[in-house]
Structure 1
Amino acid sequence: MHRPAVMNRIWFYLILAAVVCAVFSGNLAETTKSSFESAKLAVNLALGLIGAMTLWLGLVKVAEEGGLLVLIARAVRGVLVRLFPNVPPEHPAMSAMVLNLSANALGLGNAATPLGIKAMIELQKLNPHPHRATDAMCLFLAINTSNVTLLPLGVIAVRAAAGASEPAAIILPTLFATTCSTVAAVAAAKFLARLYGPEPAPVRQEAPAEKEDAPQEARFPTYRLPSWEKAVILGSVLLLLFGFGKMFWQNPSAQTLKEAVSFGIVPLLMIFLLAFGYWRGVPVYEAACEGGKEGFKVAVRIIPFLVMILVAVGMSLQLYNKKNIQVLLQEFF
């Protein structure tokens, strides 16, 4: 007998409870308004995500065509094979997970989100039961949520804006706390996976539900980069290093370091991915556009899920209105 996912019950009872309580508290107008506003918010959120998804999956496509993802997967193969034994070592999911966790560790939230969605899509291709999350998916989500953070750039920026005397003083406490949380997340995920027994061996082809919308893999003919272009790239890298060194030499302060870290990592990561692909003879513009198409499709694909979740949450939030709680207590007690 097929058992529906728990999410079906959660979603249904959130909406049911919201409507029932709205009837008894006389709050139907606000609940109805909240449902439409939440649906609009979900679409706006997805539209805002399209740009980031298109950009970063385009850059990842360039790196993939250049062979960077395979190199990354091989470099961390030992750790990943132990954590994700049901995922083939050189599967695209491995390298996508590494890129996502690396971006999270550096505090690059905008870059990490598209990479995390990309990793989940690759893991779904190995899922023998498309409507249920695999152990690898659950473990990746747990690690992603509690990810070890080396540079909490967002929090540092907030502390600096609030006038903290040492905005970067939280780096070591954050590293310790996130390391503990990641260890706890991995332990919990592994314990629950064993509790519910081993899952079936993963399939090596795409799940049927994904075949219709899955983008076709494009392979681009590479070319040999002339020596003078390699010299230009190396010279540009040296100029970047010289520029950062000059910045610190002229103004050796914590503020300069914070600005360099906060605003310099993202463009440097972009340059690294593009330069790697270009050095390996990848037509970077064409590859980025092809990867960007996948990002656009993914962002559009998640709109229904965002709408349904945010509508249920938005309607149920009306339950926690102080006035509604008082009315319900008077009605029943």
Structure 2
Amino acid sequence: MIAIGIIGSIFSDSLGELNKVILTETSKGVEFAISLAGVMALWMGIMNIAKDSGLIEKIGQKLNPIMKKLFPSVPKGHKAMSYIVMNIALNMLGAGNGATAFGLKAMNELQTLNNKKDTATDDMIMFLVINISSVQIIPFTMLKVRMDMGAKNPSEIIVTTLFATIVSTTIGIISCKLFQRRYK
């Protein structure tokens, strides 16, 4: 896309305008990334405190019946489950950027349970689907974007976002379970 833009600006004799746009928009991108880094650091810190205090373990125990149905191959008390819970919790709070680190740790732990190292397990696929669709209770990133863009009511998207992400996650889980049964 960048190459097409550069070539297009050369042919339309607007290379100077392209340079001006690149310089102004990249600085906006850096400002946005720095402001998101603060939110990400906050949530990752809170989740690490929750993990170290044992809160994640307690939440995991409460969610154990659901998590066991979603991830049947993960043994009770395995590290993968706590990382999965932390990832899902951060995604639900709209801190998807902060959830990434826990998602990577969860996948590494799930890989330790994998007998075929070159093939994803059903639990790995299920985690990926839940992670990608992720129910959003509070979509912080989108609220931040809407605030930065001057929306009159940035939070008006919360209900529709919650509904859409519940539907997408439900469909994703059902699809995974159906494909898991079909190809076993």
Q: Give the drift of 1:66.
A: 4.5
Determine which of 107, 116, 124 is the counterpart of 2:103: 116
Q: Give the drift of 1:122.
A: 0.9
Identity of aligned residues (%): 42
Determine which of 184, 187, 200 is the counterpart of 2:174: 187
Query: Relative contact order: is structure 1 or structure 2 higher (C-alpha 8 Å, sep ≥ 6)?
Result: 1
Task: Provide, for residues 173-227 of structure 1, a one-character-per-residue CA deviation record: whole Å limited to 9, x for no partner.
Answer: 0000000000010011111111210xxxxxxxxxxxxxxxxxxxxxxxxxxxxxx
Work out whether 1:77 is the aligned partner of 2:76: no
Determine which of 97, 111, 126 is the counterpart of 1:139: 126
AA partner of residue 124 (structure 1): Q
The 2-side partners of 1:97 and 1:129 are apart by 21
Task: Provide, for residues 260-297 of structure 1, a one-character-per-residue CA deviation record: whole Å limited to 9, x for no partner.
Answer: xxxxxxxxxxxxxxxxxxxxxxxxxxxxxxxxxxxxxx
- CA 1:169–1:120: 2 relative to 1, 3 Å: same
Note the 1:24-43 alignment, pairs <5 A. Answer: none
The 1-side partners of 2:161 and 2:56 are apart by 28
Q: Which runs of 5+ in 1 are unaligned?
A: 1-51, 198-333
- CA 1:161–1:66: 2 relative to 1, 3 Å: closer
The 1-side partners of 2:141 and 2:55 are apart by 28
AA partner of residue 100 (structure 2): T
Q: Give the drift of 1:150.
A: 0.4
Q: Give the drift of 1:74.
A: 1.1
Query: Which 4+ residue blocks in structure 1 deviate beyond 3 angstroms?
Result: 62-69
The 2-side partners of 1:163 and 1:150 are apart by 22
Q: Give the drift of 1:127.
A: 0.6
**Partner residue, 1:101:** 88
**Partner residue, 1:159:** 146
AA partner of residue 93 (structure 1): A
The 2-side partners of 1:164 and 1:63 are apart by 33
Q: Give the drift of 1:71.
A: 2.2
**Partner residue, 2:160:** 173
The 2-side partners of 1:117 and 1:141 are apart by 10
Q: Give the drift of 1:68.
A: 3.8
The 1-side partners of 2:163 and 2:55 are apart by 30
Determine if contact 1:73/1:95 at 8 Å carries over to the other structure.
yes
Q: CA RMSD in A?
A: 2.2
Task: Provide, for residues 107-126 of structure 1, a one-character-per-residue CA deviation record: whole Å limited to 9, x for no partner.
Answer: 11231010100111111111
- CA 1:163–1:85: 2 relative to 1, 3 Å: same
Q: Give the drift of 1:143.
A: 0.5
Larger radius of gyration: 1
AA partner of residue 142 (structure 2): V
Task: Provide, for residues 24-48 of structure 1, a one-character-per-residue CA deviation record: whole Å limited to 9, x for no partner.
Answer: xxxxxxxxxxxxxxxxxxxxxxxxx
Work out whether 1:128 is the aligned partner of 2:115: yes
- CA 1:66–1:160: 2 relative to 1, 3 Å: closer
The 2-side partners of 1:92 and 1:181 are apart by 27
The 2-side partners of 1:111 and 1:166 are apart by 25
Q: Which runs of 5+ in 2 are unaligned?
A: 1-39
The 2-side partners of 1:106 and 1:65 are apart by 19
AA partner of residue 152 (structure 1): P
Determine if contact 1:106/1:153 at 8 Å carries over to the other structure.
yes
- CA 1:154–1:63: 2 relative to 1, 3 Å: closer
Q: Give the drift of 1:64.
A: 5.0
Determine if contact 1:80/1:89 at 8 Å carries over to the other structure.
no
Normalising by the residue count of structure 1, what TM-score does the alignment of the two structures yield?
Answer: 0.40
